[in-house]
Amino acid sequence: MNDVTSKDADDAIEVLSRFLRDSLDIEAKDVPDIDDVKVAIAALIIWNNFDETDYEIKNLIRVFESKKAISYADLNSQLKDFVPYAMQLREIQKARSVFDDPSPDDLF
């Protein structure tokens, strides 16, 4: 899991966005599996190099590592700030990559 790619980060954001949108909707048919949500959270923590001792990250990890059943409402409340922040970071990374990657023809 330490080798998270940009595609993995994009996929994780998509999974978590769908979870936020659909998890509390009784009629939703496309709610991501909780294991997929856990993997997506872990991927974004690794991709963004978030400090796992940070209060908000620690609480997020605590919710999805709980031995009890995971409450979709609790997880949803934890993700409502995390997902937009991760999306914003990803957009910044994409914008920066345009300027950081030298073109193959640019030797100097």
Report, as an integer, the average pLDDT of 78-99.
87
Which runs of consecutive H residues, i.e. helices, occur in the chain? 6-22, 34-47, 55-64, 72-100
* Residue 37 belongs to some domain of the structure: yes
Report, as an integer, the average pLDDT of 14-40.
89
* Residue 13 belongs to some domain of the structure: yes
Least confident range from 53-57, 87-91, 93-97: namely: 93-97
* Residue 67 belongs to some domain of the structure: yes
What's the structural domain count of the chain? 1
* Residue 34 belongs to some domain of the structure: yes
Prediction pTM value: 0.80
* Residue 40 belongs to some domain of the structure: yes
* Residue 108 belongs to some domain of the structure: no
With a CB cutoff of 8 Å and minimum separation 6, the contacts of 80 are 20
* Residue 26 belongs to some domain of the structure: yes
Determine the Cα–Cα distance for residues 20 and 3; give it in Å rounded to an integer: 25
* Residue 65 belongs to some domain of the structure: yes
Q: Tell me which DSSP letter residue 67 carries.
A: S
Residue 19 structural domain: 6-98
Does residue 56 surpass a pLDDT of 90?
no
